């Protein structure tokens, strides 16, 4: 069973949680996937509504709106890119540059769902900025800023440039020596306009790997 869910912040309008790896954001269709962030939060805050999702194997910050008005305001902020999301990841290999951007369009790989693939003709625009935090023995820690929010964007983009995320079960990574036995991707920071007054609020969570 995934670790417990930590409440980072709660007020009358929103709840911010620190999601453990292995816990779905919403209930799955398959048996045994009913335990998720949404149901755990709704057990404490019955008015909580889903605004965005993290992949099951990704950990870190996730926000839910309390009530329909809050959900709509937060959802609009995500859709209009008025949120700022930051991640950290351990990747295989060491990028030669200190920073860069990945601008590769993505689409669903329909025969192999839920996988996504790069498609320069039919894909939807996707942009990720990255910077090296440190380089180690066969690995590097990257700070990541997704400008768009495509499904599996960070995972596909990093695999496409030859640096898949350590522990990623879908995009060709294998565990590196000394790395945790999990997918090493964590949502470390989230900044957004508060649904009550539009004033910007900021939340942080240190990567646990």
DSSP states along 79-131: HTT--EEEEEEEEES--SSSEEEEE--EEE-GGGTT-EEE-TTTPBP-EEEEE
Is 90 exceeded by the pLDDT of residue 30? no
pLDDT digit string, tens, across residues 191-200: 999 999 999 9
pLDDT digit string, tens, across residues 44-90: 999 999 999 999 999 999 999 999 999 999 999 999 999 999 999 99
pLDDT digit string, tens, across residues 106-161: 999 999 989 999 999 999 999 999 999 999 888 999 999 999 999 999 999 999 99
- What is the CATH superfamily name and number for domain 86-185? Pseudouridine synthase (3.30.2350.10)
- Whose tokens are 């995972």? That residue is 155
Average pLDDT over residues 11-16: 98
DSSP 176: P
Q: Which fold has domain 6-83?
A: Pseudouridine synthase (3.30.2350)
Q: What confidence category does residue 29 fall into, taking pLDDT thresholds of 50, 70 and 90?
A: confident
- Vertex 201 angle, CA 50 and 131, to 5°: 90
Task: Report the predicted TM-score, pTM, of the whole model to 2 decimal places.
Answer: 0.94
Domain boundaries, the chain: 6-83, 86-185
Residue 177 confidence (pLDDT): 62
Q: What confidence category does residue 204 fall into, taking pLDDT thresholds of 50, 70 and 90?
A: very high
Question: 21 in helix, strand or coil?
Answer: coil
Same fold: 6-83 with 86-185: yes
Q: What confidence category does residue 176 fall into, taking pLDDT thresholds of 50, 70 and 90?
A: low
Residues assigned a catalytic role: 55
pLDDT digit string, tens, across residues 178-191: 677 899 999 999 99
Contacts of 116 (CB under 8 A, 6+ apart): 106, 107, 108, 109, 150, 151, 152, 153, 155, 156
């Amino acid at each position: 069973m995934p670790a417990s869910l930590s409440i980072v912040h709660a007020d009358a309008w929103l709840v911010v949680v620190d999601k453990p790896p292995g816990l779905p954001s919403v209930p799955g269709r398959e048996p045994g996937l009913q335990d998720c962030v949404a149901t755990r939060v709704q057990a404490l805050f019955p008015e909580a509504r889903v605004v965005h999702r993290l992949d099951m194997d990704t950990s870190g910050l996730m926000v839910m709106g309390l009530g329909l008005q809050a959900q709509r305001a937060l959802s609009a902020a995500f859709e209009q890119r008025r949120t700022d999301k930051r991640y950290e990841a351990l990747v295989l290999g060491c990028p030669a540059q200190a920073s860069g951007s990945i601008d590769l369009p993505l689409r669903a790989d329909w025969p192999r769902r839920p996988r996504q693939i790069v498609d320069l003709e039919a894909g939807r625009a996707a942009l990720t900025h990255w910077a090296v935090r440190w380089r180690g023995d066969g690995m590097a820690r990257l700070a990541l800023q997704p400008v768009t929010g495509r499904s599996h964007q960070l995972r596909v983009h990093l695999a496409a440039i030859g640096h898949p995320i350590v522990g990623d079960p879908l995009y060709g990574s294998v565990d590196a020596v000394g790395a945790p036995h999990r997918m090493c991707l964590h949502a470390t920071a989230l900044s957004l306009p508060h649904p009550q007054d539009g004033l910007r609020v900021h939340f942080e969570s240190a990567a646990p790997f």
